[in-house]
Structure 1
Amino acid sequence: NNIKTDYTGTNSLTDTTGTINPTITGAFVNGKWTGMVTINRIGRNVKITTSGAGKTGESNAFDVKAGPPAKLAITPSSFTMAAGVTYSYLNISLRDANNFETTHTSNLIVSLSTTSPDGEFREFGTTNRITGVVIPTGSSFVKVDYYDIRGGTQTLTASATGLTSGTATVTVIPDTTPPVTTMTVGSPKYTSGTTTYVSGSTVFTLSASDDASGVEETKYRVDGGSWSTYTAGLTFSTLLDGSHTIGYYSSDKSGNNEAEKTLTIVMDKTPPAISSASPTGSLIQRSTSVTFTVRVEDSGSGVKEVRLTVDGISQGSMTAGSDYFKTISLSEGSHTWSIEAVDNVDNTATWSGSFTLTVDTAPPTISGLSAPSNPVFGESTTITCQVSDELSGVREVKLYYSTNGGSSWTEVVMNLQGGFYTGSIPSQMPFTSIQYYVKAVDNAGNEHQTAISTITIGIPTWLYIAVVAIIIIVAIALVLIRRKPASQTAYAPPSYPPPPPPR
């Protein structure tokens, strides 16, 4: 009764299922529009709402019912995906004869298939391969994923007993990119410049990734040998020390092979060499401060640390030098000690020894210092003495002499002969005054030095005789010269040349 007959516009159409078609009416005629609409989803108490010219109208509520299941549908019915990348997701739905989604009165088993030999349906949200699904009672659809590595166009089919099968077409873009493999070198390892050192226990891990079809396998080889399939972390404990090359690559499920990569390593399974450890046996010294020294060498990765343990107590790391050393204070008596040398890839060598520490602070005793009573020119001057040290023993005895009043001193090593230490001062000129003293050092480093003594070089007997003989000879010669008579010479007149002839 309130029809606006002059309205000729169009109205929008919506419904509570959101599936009405069309969504806009045609032009109104005499205030009315009559047409067919389709609602593509079943539902209860569905209403249609129309709006236009500032007015809104709503239909009575009604139920949209689907017919009995007649077919299956796969949506989307056509899609494109990349090889090796899961497509998520596909709807496998029940439809009636009018293509409405509908339900089944019991669980419906649906078989799934593909024309691709490498394609597979997967449980939604997982990588579990499936060949069928169940649409539960009261449900109209189920979600699945699809995976394929074969490029090209394939047909997917969903089928169930008594229903028309549903199909979809998929275009798979082929994978032409090979995987990428990385190698991780675990511990222990040591890098010096471009050289990587490893040990027989070092673990090598290969990791491959492929964003498309996925990694099929990873292979490796050593020093150009045969290829092996990688399954888990690798160790190369059977390799000899020295340089080796590890090659590796991966293949994907589309048959793409990565170019071989290589890593050069230096195997070091040999621990450091320990030698020249000191002290051992008996150690007699002036103090309780003991210096431990040891030579440690490693021709591979190099020495990382040398640790000292004394009497079962760790003393920490030793200091590196030409030898490794560390000084600690100990009590007198017996001690045990050990060395643990570690190289840069954790190869370890050990050494152990013992010694007895005796503290000696008493210097040697020098007695019986003797020199010639009348040293003479032309002969060396021999100095002798006796030296004793009851505890650590005599290490060295030296004679020092000076011929210039002590401005400079010359050192002479004294040798032990028949219980006496003997040293000689070379021959000096007559009347030379020689100062001398003796210094003795024991094996603990204690020193004792005598007072400075002085001797003067005299003239030997033979020189006296020679001088006297020379004097006598000179005297006789002078006497003989004085006794010789004077010589007499006859007078002879001078001679002149004859005169020249007359002219």
Structure 2
Amino acid sequence: MEYTDPFYLPGKTGKHTVKYFARDNVANDKKHSEYKHVVGVVYVDLTGPSLSYDFNGARFKKGEMNYISGKTDIVLRATDQESGLKEIKYMIDGSGEVAYDKPFNIEKDGLHSITIVGYDHVNNRNVDNFEFTVDNVPSDIFVTYSASPTDTINNIPVYPSYTSIFLAGTDTGTECHRITYSINGQPLQVYDNKITGFRKNAHVELKIFAEDKLLNKSEIDIEFKTNAL
């Protein structure tokens, strides 16, 4: 085709070769006509960057929902094999676009959404969205005694020495992962079934710790005495 005006390249991603040539004034003489061929290679990039995300830190997946803590880093990634990645931007819960330069975290509890926007060097744009829940609330600890107190001394309840103590942890976000306890400053022990074996006529200080799947920790202290039974 004779070139008269600028033209569009094919609307298909890939390599397209444009061959063009010029005829010089000598070509007016058919015996001495000469053509100079020049080949130019153009790559048409019509697609935006590939986007992905990850969590660096405490994370727990329940069903289709990811739970993270306020200290968990949110990592955004983008790659572009064609014209190359220009920049990544993101929006938190529908807010304005912010340039992404390093992992970040969200401290506020509750459900959040992130929109990732990736741009390549020819301004193709791609968008992705994901949701997650931030959970900074530790588990609640519940203590149950197998016997009732027989007395109270200085506002401290007195239980039979054979009393067993049962512990439980509940969590509205993830779930209680582990309960540990310490008796009178002794090394921590992992709670398994029940706590027994208290000495008679003893003063007991019991520290109880609960840890959920996101490593949120809670602690309660209880104090009681045992009698001679």
Question: Do they superpose with TM above 0.5?
Answer: yes
Question: Could you tell me how far apart the structure 1 residues matched to 2:58 and 2:69 are?
Answer: 7
2:186 paired residue among 313, 319, 325: 313
- Alignment length (residue pairs): 186
**How do residues 178-217 of structure 1 correspond to structure 2 at under 5 angstroms?**
178-217=48-87
* Distance change >3 Å, CA 245–CA 215, structure 1 → 2: same
Q: 1:212 aligns to what SS in structure 2?
A: coil
Question: Could you tell me how far apart the structure 1 residues matched to 2:95 and 2:179 are?
Answer: 38
1:261 Cα offset (Å): 1.1
1:352 matched to 2:227? The reply is: no
1:276 Cα offset (Å): 4.3
**How do residues 374-389 of structure 1 correspond to structure 2 at under 5 angstroms?**
none
The one-letter code sitting in structure 2 at the alignment partner of 1:285 is P
Structure with more relative contact order (C-alpha pairs < 8 Å, separation 6 or more): 2
8 Å contact kept, 1:152–1:173: no
More strand by share: 2
Tell me the alpha carbon deviations over residues 342-384 of structure 1, each in whole angstroms, 9 at most, x when there is no partner.
1221111111122222231xxxxxxxxxxxxxxxxxxxxxxxx
Between 249-258 and 270-279, report the one with greater CA deviation: 270-279
The one-letter code sitting in structure 2 at the alignment partner of 1:209 is T
Tell me the alpha carbon deviations over residues 224-262 of structure 1, each in whole angstroms, 9 at most, x when there is no partner.
22111111011011x2x222211112111111111x211
The one-letter code sitting in structure 2 at the alignment partner of 1:334 is H
1:184 Cα offset (Å): 0.5
Q: 1:10 matched to which residue of 2?
A: none
8 Å contact kept, 1:284–1:359: no
Question: Could you tell me how far apart the structure 1 residues matched to 2:164 and 2:208 are?
Answer: 14
Tell me the alpha carbon deviations over residues 277-308 of structure 1, each in whole angstroms, 9 at most, x when there is no partner.
65893433264xx5223453321112122211
8 Å contact kept, 2:161–2:197: no
Q: 1:225 matched to which residue of 2?
A: 95
Question: Could you tell me how far apart the structure 1 residues matched to 2:18 and 2:98 are?
Answer: 33
Q: 2:171 matched to which residue of 1?
A: 298
Question: Could you tell me how far apart the structure 1 residues matched to 2:211 and 2:41 are?
Answer: 61
Which blocks of at least 5 consecutive residues in structure 1 are unaligned?
1-150, 154-167, 320-324, 361-503
8 Å contact kept, 1:185–1:203: yes
Q: TM-score, normalised by structure 2?
A: 0.71
| RMSD, aligned α-carbons | 2.7
Q: 1:328 matched to which residue of 2?
A: 196
1:263 Cα offset (Å): 1.1
Question: Could you tell me how far apart the structure 1 residues matched to 2:211 and 2:18 are?
Answer: 60
Q: 1:271 matched to which residue of 2?
A: 138
Question: Could you tell me how far apart the structure 2 residues matched to 1:225 and 1:341 are?
Answer: 36
8 Å contact kept, 1:189–1:199: yes
Q: 2:195 aligns to what SS in structure 1?
A: strand
1:242 matched to 2:110? The reply is: yes
Question: Could you tell me how far apart the structure 2 residues matched to 1:286 and 1:329 are?
Answer: 7
1:285 matched to 2:160? The reply is: yes
Identity %: 21
* Distance change >3 Å, CA 273–CA 286, structure 1 → 2: closer
1:266 Cα offset (Å): 1.3
1:191 Cα offset (Å): 0.6
8 Å contact kept, 1:200–1:236: yes
Q: 1:359 aligns to what SS in structure 2?
A: coil
8 Å contact kept, 1:273–1:296: yes
1:208 Cα offset (Å): 1.0
Q: TM-score, normalised by structure 1?
A: 0.34
Which blocks of at least 5 consecutive residues in structure 2 are unaligned?
1-16, 20-37, 150-154
